[in-house]
Amino acid sequence: MPAKDLETIVSLAKRRGFVFPAAEIYGGFANTYDYGPLGVELKRNIREAWWKSMVRDRDDVVGIDAALITNPRVWVASGHVSNFNDPLVDCKKCQMRWRLDHIEEGQYGEVKRNAAGDVTCPNDGGELTEPRQFNMMFKTQVGTVADEASIAYLPPETAQGIFPNFENVVASMRRKLPFGIAQSRVSFRNEITPGKFIFRTLEFEQMEMEYFCQPPADRNNPVEYLALHQEWINTRLAWYRDTIGIDASRLRIRDHEKAELSHYSAGTADVEYLFPWGWGELEGIAARTDFDLTAHGNASGHPLTYFDEDTKQHVVPWVIEPAAGLTRTLAVAMLEAYNEELDEKGETRVVLKFKPAIAPIKVAVLPLSKNEALRPAARRVYEMVRSTYMAQYDETQSIGRRYRRQDEIGTPLCITVDFQTVGEDGTPGDDAVTIRERDSQVQVRVPISGLLEALRDRLPGC
């Protein structure tokens, strides 16, 4: 059962230290959020899971971390300076500003039209101005003189840090086609419309990969290229289901209509999630042909080609680009993990059923009470566990409340140290602890000597 509405997650995220509105003490800042102690762990774990599946577990993909602020000619060649525009409209009545494409997609609820059939303001049904094209890149200035020559851009995607390094990677890593270059980092877009929490923000993180392959035998009928595109669509869909733990019924693939595609594109498919407000994009998997390498080769005067040892010819590789949103996936991981159900006492508990590999805290060590007699053993267990797993130690409040707190942040396992562990009234302790599983709430007794092994069995992929 995922969260029924976004507000539930927004409130939990703030209350439990996942995501805070940015600069809240100054009244916040539109479409901008800060990641708290648990949010930062969750984000790292999702990125790590992506990196593992895209880079570490594969022989054909390597990573890169390109500069954020780079030569502005990169953004001219990529087409962002002239084309990375959104159509903006203003309501003549309430003066609110909107993205016309988002209104038409129904992102603000039911699409309303006037008698002439034109869409109207989602807020008050007012007439809208003609759309104006608005470039979404943030400009900045490099150097001390503010003139045209000093303009640089904050990157609106990670991909354009990859293409200019194509030749460097081929040469330094001795890559043969097909191979990929992956990158995960922050991107910036001047998003002007209300963003639905971290679904759409000014500053967000992406996980992108450019997979370079041989050009197809027939560019007008690129059968082998489209088959590779389909393979990546299947791989990426499976990642959201199996690694992030999203129920298959709330995932789908949406192929872009011809009209949505750029002139160079051989196809794009989005992985979409069923958000509380409807289907929305999680990742785009684009078949970008040889557009980017050709564009950067032409603009720089430095052709970006690959020398094919078999045919003894230089070719411009074609590329498949799976482009995912890290921070958007984090929102979905929270929505999807959210459950309300009955606890051991028949009371309602909130539990985030994260897959162990992405859970921010893997293990909580909880002495049964604050009693001094329990502390040395509990601290010893905590030190042992934290050497391997992200762990928390908590001895405040009743054990029931501490279980609830760990359930609500999605900790898969709690370990309780009690008087049976340390012994009482002359009875020797058994040097064992209780492991409580978050989802089943089942408790099992395990000797401390075998604890790490028991945790390993219960924390796959951690």
Q: Which residues bind ligand GAP (CB under 6 A)?
A: 157, 159, 189, 191, 200-201, 204, 206, 208, 281-284, 321, 323-325, 327-328
CB of 210 to ligand GAP, least distance (A): 9
CB of 322 to ligand GAP, least distance (A): 9
Give just the sign of the alpha carbon dihedral 295, 298, 304, 310.
Answer: positive
Measured between alpha carbons, how far is 405 from 245 in angstroms, rounded to an integer? 22
Give the number of other Cβ atoms within 10 Å of residue 187's Cβ: 22
Query: What does the block give as tokens for 226?
Result: 């489209």
128 secondary structure, DSSP code? B
Q: Between 201 and 411, whose beta carbon lies closer to ligand GAP?
A: 201
Phi-psi region of 75 (alpha: psi -120 to 50; beta: other; left: phi over 0): alpha
Cis peptide before 2 (omega within 30 of 0): no
CB of 284 to ligand GAP, least distance (A): 4
Q: Between 120 and 158, whose beta carbon lies closer to ligand GAP?
A: 158
Measured between alpha carbons, how far is 369 from 412 in angstroms, rounded to an integer? 21
CB of 97 to ligand GAP, least distance (A): 16
Cα maximum dimension of the chain: 88
CB of 417 to ligand GAP, least distance (A): 42
Q: Between 198 and 316, whose beta carbon lies closer to ligand GAP?
A: 198
CB of 327 to ligand GAP, least distance (A): 5
Ranges of beta strands (E only) in 154-291 are 179-188, 203-213, 251-255, 267-275, 278-289
Q: Between 99 and 405, whose beta carbon lies closer to ligand GAP?
A: 99
CB of 280 to ligand GAP, least distance (A): 9
CB of 331 to ligand GAP, least distance (A): 9
Q: Between 321 and 336, whose beta carbon lies closer to ligand GAP?
A: 321
Q: Between 128 and 282, whose beta carbon lies closer to ligand GAP?
A: 282
360 half-sphere exposure, CB direction, 13 A CA radius: 25
Measured between alpha carbons, how far is 151 from 48 in angstroms, rounded to an integer? 34
Q: Between 254 and 386, whose beta carbon lies closer to ligand GAP?
A: 254
Q: State the residue number with the nearest CB to ligand GAP.
A: 325
113 secondary structure, DSSP code? B
Amino acid at 291: F
CB of 136 to ligand GAP, least distance (A): 9
DSSP one-letter string for 225-265: HHHHHHHHHHHHHHHHHHTS---GGGEEEEEPPGGGS-TT-
Q: Between 325 and 367, whose beta carbon lies closer to ligand GAP?
A: 325
Measured between alpha carbons, how far is 234 from 322 in angstroms, rounded to an integer? 11
Task: Return phi, psi of residue 128, to 5°.
Answer: -105, 150
Q: Between 292 and 418, whose beta carbon lies closer to ligand GAP?
A: 292
Query: Are 183 and 66 spatial neighbours (Cβ–Cβ below 8 Å)?
Result: yes
